Structure 1
Amino acid sequence: MDKKGIKIVTIGGGSSYTPEFVEGLIKRYDELPVRELWLVDIENGKEKLEIVGHLAKRMVERSGLPIQIHLSLDRKEALKNADFVTTQIRVGLLDARIKDERIPLKHGMIGQETNGAGGMFKALRTIPVLLDIAKDIQRLCPKAWLINFTNPAGMVTEALLKHSEHKKVIGVCNVPINMTYSIASLLQVDPEDVHITFGGLNHMLYGLDIQVNGVSKIKDVIELMSSAENQLSMKNIAPLPWDKDFLNALQAIPSPYHRYYYKTEAMLKKEILEFNQGKTRAEVVKETEAELFELYKDKHLDIKPPQLEKRGGAYYSDTACNLISSIYTDKRDIQTLNTKNNGAISSLPDDTVVEVNCIVTRNGPIPLSVGPLPISVQGLVQQIKSFELTTVDAAVTGSYDKALLALCINPLITDDKKAKLILDEMLEAHKDYLPQFFN
């Protein structure tokens, strides 16, 4: 890595989140001297790439820093000699997400971007594309770290570590940082003073203990979360309140996404109501994104607009910048990442991907031992891991049987016949992005 300045390539550079990433690089320039940032997209994303790219250039110009911004539709040209590659792609764009949400809901099942049938189909479309990108990285910049925040981040990272020659891969998610900030706010303390022992999988993550300056506060947080006003959630998840007795019995902090598993009926009822009104979350996001891009076009705008935080992925890019900076400086701080288990969670296989606290070094993350997960959460986590592994197999092989089996393993799919109907309809709806199932 060139200490005179580093080269970062962002695949999916036309994303509405890019301004947050650029802001993060500008903020950290003293410790992370970026020489070049290449924003790469596909022909379909050209217009958005140019809008975001020009905003990025204005942000850098305002900062007065010597960061060169390059826009490209040629991935191979961009990747040459990169030090870090970040991926934030959406195969099929938001129209595909709308189908991921609407088709399962039509059959009376949860329709969500990263959970249930929607999450599975996002993985089926995304994994082959990421494996292709990893091939180019291995050939053109084999020393580069691939930082993936394309959802479903856990499954994508699993597929890359199992099926790609390029092993310098780390998955990041904004849920842990959101939970940390929310809990700090509940406790009225500085987020820097809060340490959460995280254990689980991407979007299936539990806070197993919470310490503030070395003192356990998990009981206090459970007490605070038992009040309807103090709900940990995110912009993309309805903040349905948790039952006090349930939280006391669980003795762990569920992530916002756990509402899909512990409050399935209430979440489904809310989603079906939105579906009938023609406003699924994906359709709301499409409107928000259109508004953001209108803002981004303003030639006088040279900062990240605050409206970006309406998106459920706020802090994603900050998480990625933190990680890149810690690898580059060999900081050895603790971050919550998706990486190979290697015994960190003893109740899951060593070679699978987990989301846990890690020490971040120049050689990558070292996962910190959690031991076995509490018996109360272990079964659900193992079931989701089984679903993830079967989905990865289906994505790589194009096996219809594996895809059907994965759906039926998932706890949000409650009927095998309906699973088959959903599978057939979604395969047809996403046919253009699933060549492995049709060739």
Structure 2
Amino acid sequence: MKLTVVGGGSTYTPELVDGFARLRDTLPVEELVLVDPAADRLELVGGLARRIFARQDHPGRIVTTSDLDAAVEGADAVLLQLRVGGQAARLQDETWPLDCGCVGQETTGAGGLAKALRTVPVVLDIAERVRRANPRAWIIDFTNPVGIVTRALLQAGHRAVGLCNVAIGLQRKFAALLDVAPAELHLDHVGLNHLTWETGVRLHGPEGEDVLPRLLAGHADAIAADLRLPRALLDRLGVVPSYYLRYYYAHDEVVRELRTKPSRAAEVAAMEKELLALYADPALDEKPALLAKRGGAFYSEAAVDLAAALLTGSGSPYQVVNTRNAGTLPYLPDDAVIEVQAAVGPKGASPLPVTSLDPLCTGLMAHVTAYEDLALDAALRGGRDRVFKALLSHPLIGQYEYAEELTDRLVAHNREHLAWA
């Protein structure tokens, strides 16, 4: 089995490689190709990846290259974890929206739209080259904004599934609070990427006992503190929102915080510099502890589980993925991409039925889905007016004066990545 990681020079990659090494019985990788245009980073990451495989006696071969076409030739699955514009572009995404009093964040709001505009054309070009190399290859997208990127891939007819680590992270936290093995918990996870709620926490599969009431009764303070939301809000909601909902439920508070502390992009850039220095040590043959602070926790477990299910039919039968709505949520278009529990196998991902949701959730999902429609249109066809409409439609913006100024700033900061600008 051959797997290719596009963006293989990412500092995330050792987390992924560690998962491939540890879980080789679940996913027997014979060849792992790391492809990245940044040759210096790729050399460091590739060297550590080979040492991780050697430490764990993994028989697979690791190849590094900057040649995308060679990397995807014959690949059974291609994992996308790229960042167009690098951390420098992320820093801009997190900065200029704050000047207008809007959240500066790389996956939602104006910054999220900028990332989508830079990313979608690049991903679609990669996907076409994958399709030419092997029409049966699966594309697993971990590139943000995952919902919009996955929707672009599916609309273009690619065999693609989107993946995010929010659900697996919550599963691990809930399991620790309940003192059970993570595999025993099935989350009733529903929403859009980075806009999700846990409406149930079930023991032993989708038909199991719902222990969410018990979880909230005994641990709501800890969960609320982790989400940085008031305990009283969780009590009133009766569900557990993802931490990304804080951008919506406490928007002005978040903006005040972001204006008074270093950006996450600056923190990550400093951390990446330190990580790359660690990766350069020829004695290092395991992922360093610092990597846990980089983000992407449990990404490797989720990625291995998904790839195994798609390629071999093994792995967990039910997984949280980003896939086509296809009538699952009747208040959203069929071609919307939703993030839900799905039955996953070699034929793809089929969403499980979803119980009715509070209009507080469904209304926001419909609103953000409308924004994603306009965002994808802007990413595919370009044009200042399309960017403006997408920004005006976003629930974190929604005022024409803000949308006008944000459009000017977005275009100014991203001209080198926008063919139409």
Q: Name the aligned partner's letter for residue 254 of structure 1.
A: P
Partner of 1:289: 272
Aligned equivalents of 1:88 and 1:56: distance in 2?
A: 16
Counterpart residue number, 2:303? 320
Matched, 1:398 2:391: no
> 1:337 matched to which residue of 2?
321
How many angstroms apart in 1 are the aligned matches of 2:393 and 2:245?
17
In the TM superposition, what are the counterparts of 1:206-285 in structure 2 within 5 Å?
A: 206-213=197-204, 214-224=208-218, 226-227=220-221, 229-231=222-224, 233=226, 239-244=227-232, 246-274=233-261, 279-285=262-268
2:167 to 176, 193, 198: 176
Structure 1, 202-211 or 314-323: larger mean CA deviation: 314-323
Q: 1:89 aligns with which of 78, 82, 98?
A: 82
Conserved? CA contact 1:58–1:301, under 8 Å: yes
Between stretches 406-415 and 148-157, larger displacement belongs to 406-415
- Residue 10 of structure 1 is matched in structure 2 by 5
Provide the rounded CA distance (Å) in 2 between the counterparts of 1:212 and 1:371: 17
- Change beyond 3 A, Cα 1:226–1:28: closer
TM (norm. structure 1) is 0.92
Matches within 5 A, 1:124-135: 124-135=117-128
Partner Cα distance (2:276, 2:136) in 1: 34
Letter in 2 for 1:241: L
- Paired residue secondary structure (1:110): coil
* 1:301 partner SS: coil
Distance 1:333 1:271 in 2: 40
Give the deviation of 1:329 after TM superposition. 2.7
Contact (CA 8 Å) 1:186, 1:230: kept in 2 or not? no
Q: Say which SS state the counterpart of residue 184 (structure 1) adopts.
A: helix
How many pairs does the alignment contain?
417
CA contact under 8 A between 1:14 and 1:53: conserved in structure 2? yes
Equivalent residue of 1:345, what SS?
A: coil
The aligned residue for residue 79 of structure 1 is 72
Partner of residue 353 from structure 2, selected from 352, 369, 372:
369
User: CA offset at residue 222 of structure 1?
Assistant: 2.8
Q: Percent identity?
A: 39
Higher mean alpha-carbon deviation, 408-417 vs 375-384, is at 408-417
- Once residues 62 and 235 of structure 2 are traced to their aligned partners in structure 1, the CA distance between those partners, rounded to angstroms, is 51
How many angstroms does 1:156 deviate by?
0.3
- Maintained 8 Å contact 1:8/1:38: yes
Root-mean-square deviation (CA, aligned residues, Å) is: 1.5
The AA in structure 1 aligned to 2:30 is: R
Pairing of 1:32-71 with structure 2 (within 5 A)? 32-42=27-37, 45-71=38-64
Cα distance, 1:241 vs structure 2: 3.1
- Counting only pairs closer than 5 Å after superposition, residues 378-397 of structure 1 correspond to structure 2 as 378-397=362-381
Can you list the C-alpha shifts for 1:108-153, whole angstroms capped at 9, x where unaligned?
2100010111111111100000000011011111111000000111
1:98 match: 91
Distance in 2 between the 1:243 and 1:382 partners? 26
- Cα shift at 1:348: 1.4
Do 1:22 and 1:56's aligned partners in 2 also have CA atoms closer than 8 Å? yes
Partner of 2:177: 186
Q: Is the 8 A contact 1:20 1:318 kept in 2?
A: no
Residue 16 of structure 2 corresponds to residue 21 of structure 1: yes
Alignment of 1:303-318 (within 5 A): 303-318=286-301
For 1:390 and 1:208, the matched residues in 2 are separated by 28
- Tell me, which stretches of 5 or more residues in structure 1 are unaligned? 1-5, 234-238
Contact 1:41 1:72 in 2 (8 A): yes
Q: d(CA) in 2 for partners of 1:64 and 1:416?
A: 59
Which whole-Å CA distance do the structure 2 matches of 1:423 and 1:224 have between them? 46
What SS does the corresponding residue of 2:287 show, helix, strand or coil? Answer: coil
TM-score (norm 2): 0.96
**Cα separation, 1, equivalents of 2:56 and 2:118:** 38
Are the aligned partners of 1:407 and 1:419 in contact in 2 as well (CA < 8 Å)?
yes
